[in-house]
Amino acid sequence: MTKVTTEDLLDEIAGCCAGARRILFITGAGISADSGLPTYRGIGGLYDGNATDEGYAIEDALSGEMMRQHPEIAWKYLAQIEATCRGARPNAAHAAIAWLENRAAVTVLTQNVDGLHRAAGSTDLIEIHGTLHRLVCTGCGLRREVADYDGLPLPPGCPDCEGLLRPEVVLFGEALPEGAIRRLVEILQGGVDLVFSIGTTSVFPYIAEPVLWARERGVPSVEINPGETRVSRFVDYRLRMGAADAMVRLRARLGG
């Protein structure tokens, strides 16, 4: 039996991309690893299960309840995450996905709150966990874009109503944004020709579901991840590689 090599897989995946009119990319913390961001536990990938300075589990410190009861604690760790992300730039994987918009209709469903897909130029984004760079007032609903948190008082107050400002991210224990869920449903109902899962362990059902949807409908699916994940056994093509390496080689095959 002839062994299928990585080069063979890349050739086949490139063929799928070349023939696809609509592509869905699902991305997690692993796609930002080559931008210098960590991939382990926590929003944005910053904590590995250790207790916070106050003795809370990070899931409790970064929860909606903590934001309501003790916003100074929630903001302390959100600010640490933003500081870790500050200065990071999109890497070759982000750039390749944005470049593919020249060839097909591309939608990116990302768990990441670092804003790197947007910075790379991707335009059809479903930021299912929100973004660190948009603040919203819990009182009047004012929204404010920020480049970083440098100089912000913690917790910050709203300039209009003196309510509490918070990042527009999904904290632990909070519901996913309805608009993002509706958009994902619309994309799947409209149909896609190819699904990628990149740099995510797919532990959340809404992240794994599009891969399962593709399998049920005979739509090709690709996983790019060095490790084993919840969807590894369901995909058609599996690349045990880092995201940037894989996407650079794939882009080269497509003439990029």
**Predicted TM-score (pTM) of this structure:** 0.93
The chain-wide mean pLDDT, for the chain, equals 93
Q: Do the Cβ atoms of 174 and 64 come closer than 8 Å?
A: yes
Q: What are phi and psi of 224, to 5 degrees?
A: -120, 110
* 98, pLDDT greater than 90: yes
- 17-29 pLDDT, tens digit per residue, is 999 999 999 999 9
Q: How confident is the model at residue 141 (pLDDT cuts 50, 70, 90)?
A: very high
Cα dihedral 212→214→216→222 (10° resolution): -80
Amino acid at 246: A
Q: Do the Cβ atoms of 127 and 113 come closer than 8 Å?
A: yes
34-48, 78-92, 103-117, 140-154: least confident range: 34-48
Tokens in use for 47? 């904590």
Any idea what the Cα angle at residue 204 is, between residues 198 and 205, rounded to 5°?
105
What is the arrangement of strands in the sheet containing 237-239, beginning at the earlier edge strand? 125-127, 105-110, 22-27, 194-198, 221-224, 237-239
Q: What is the mean pLDDT of residues 72-99?
A: 94
Q: Do the Cβ atoms of 193 and 21 come closer than 8 Å?
A: yes
Nearest partner of 227 among 246, 241, 237, 215, judged by Cα: 241
Distance separating alpha carbons of residues 244 and 91, to the nearest angstrom: 7
Q: How confident is the model at residue 1 (pLDDT cuts 50, 70, 90)?
A: low
Q: What is the mean pLDDT of residues 65-94?
A: 94
Give the pLDDT confidence score for residue 240 in this predicted structure: 97
* Annotated catalytic residue 129: yes
Q: Do the Cβ atoms of 128 and 112 come closer than 8 Å?
A: no
Would you identify the CATH topology of the domain 58-86+135-169? SIR2/SIRT2 'Small Domain' (3.30.1600)
- 37-57 pLDDT, tens digit per residue, is 877 555 555 565 567 888 898
Distance separating alpha carbons of residues 245 and 170, to the nearest angstrom: 30
- 142-200 pLDDT, tens digit per residue, is 999 999 999 999 999 999 998 999 999 999 999 999 999 999 999 999 999 999 999 99
Would you kindly state where each structural domain of the chain is located, as residue ranges? Answer: 6-36+89-129+175-253, 58-86+135-169
* 236, pLDDT greater than 70: yes
* 2, pLDDT greater than 90: no
Distance separating alpha carbons of residues 108 and 129, to the nearest angstrom: 13
Would you identify the CATH topology of the domain 6-36+89-129+175-253? Rossmann fold (3.40.50)
More confident residue, 237 or 49: 237
Residue 134: CA count within 13 A, CB half-sphere: 14
Residue 32: CA count within 13 A, CB half-sphere: 29
* 107, pLDDT greater than 90: yes
Q: How much of the chain, in percent, has pLDDT values that exceed 70?
A: 95
Q: Which of 94, 117, 129, 133 is catalytic?
A: 129
Same topology between domain 6-36+89-129+175-253 and domain 58-86+135-169? no
